[in-house]
Amino acid sequence: MSVALVTGAAGGLGTAIARRLAAGGHQVALNDRPGRDVSALAAELGGVAAPGDVSDPIAVEAMVGDVERQTGGHIGILVAGAAYLTMAPFTEHDLDDWWRIIDVNLGGTFACAQAVMPGMVERGGGRMVLISSEWGLIGWPDATAYSASKAGMIALTKSLGRELGPLGIAVNAVAPSVIDTSRLEVDAKAAGVTVAEIRARYADRVPLGRVASPEEIADAVAFLADARLPTLLGQILHVNGGTTRARA
């Protein structure tokens, strides 16, 4: 099985993805920014901790090199899940914060993909799974930077699918709708309501009648990370309970 690097592993979704890939037999390397400790989770899963700010390409290069030294092999799976989200009206969003969202979500994904690609080429192939969002498809009020960053990840997936496919590297993405994680607290604060209320509001617009669990998204990631699907590349898997499918 491959070494699987999961960025944003300290969050609810990242943790679920790490657990799912470890259960599938992969050795997991868990990344999050300094200050968000993943060492306990890494020890639990028999993996390695890989701290580093993905928005810093130099830090990413060092982090990937450290993972390869610790595991003794090249990274075969990249799950680019590190994300930063704040919400504010378009005309009021602090410019530095707006660009921080782009730098982490889109720039960080680009940096990680660049850093792991040479090792994937050397080992004869690999899988990259980018965690985009439904908001990258339909947009969302008070989330212009986040939506733009996730739309950029969709275009990056399609472009890398074309460019890296001939090298044996399959690049795909998951575009979830709302997930039941602590990130709902950001949405609730922006809306001025409780987490329970924001969860209910989101559930009302989902044909399935509820928001997704982190484990459901992790299952979709594991599907795209499966090396037995070599012809699946440049695709966006919409795991959203039917929200975009139900739109006119």
Q: What is the pLDDT of residues 74-101, one digit of tens each?
A: 999 999 999 999 989 999 999 999 999 9
- The mean predicted confidence, pLDDT, of the chain is 93
C-alpha–C-alpha distance, residues 129 and 156, integer Å: 11
The predicted pLDDT at position 245 comes to 66
For the question of residue 202 being annotated catalytic, the response is: no
C-alpha–C-alpha distance, residues 248 and 244, integer Å: 9
Q: Which helix (H) or strand (E) holds 126?
A: strand 126-131
- The pLDDT tens digits for 157-209 are 999 999 999 999 999 999 998 877 777 787 788 789 998 888 888 878 878 77
Asked whether residue 247 carries a pLDDT value surpassing 60, the answer given is no
Q: Which CATH number is correct for 3-177+214-237, 3.40.1130.10, 3.10.290.10, 3.40.30.10, 3.40.50.720?
A: 3.40.50.720
Fill in the amino acid letter for 70: Q
Confidence grade of residue 32 (pLDDT, cut at 50, 70, 90) = very high
User: What is the rounded (10 degree) CA torsion for 175, 177, 178, 180?
Assistant: -70
Q: Which of 84, 98, 146, 202 is catalytic?
A: 146
* The two structure tokens encoding residue 243: 């929200």
* The two structure tokens encoding residue 97: 């914060």
Domain parsing of the chain, residue ranges: 3-177+214-237, 178-211
Asked whether residue 248 carries a pLDDT value surpassing 50, the answer given is no
User: Contact at 8 Å (CB) between 31 and 56?
Assistant: no
The residue behind tokens 């001939």 is 166
The predicted pLDDT at position 235 comes to 95
User: Contact at 8 Å (CB) between 103 and 213?
Assistant: no
Query: Length of the chain in residues, anyone?
Result: 248
The contacts of residue 242 (CB under 8 Å, 6+ apart) are 206, 207, 208
Predicted TM-score of the model (pTM): 0.92
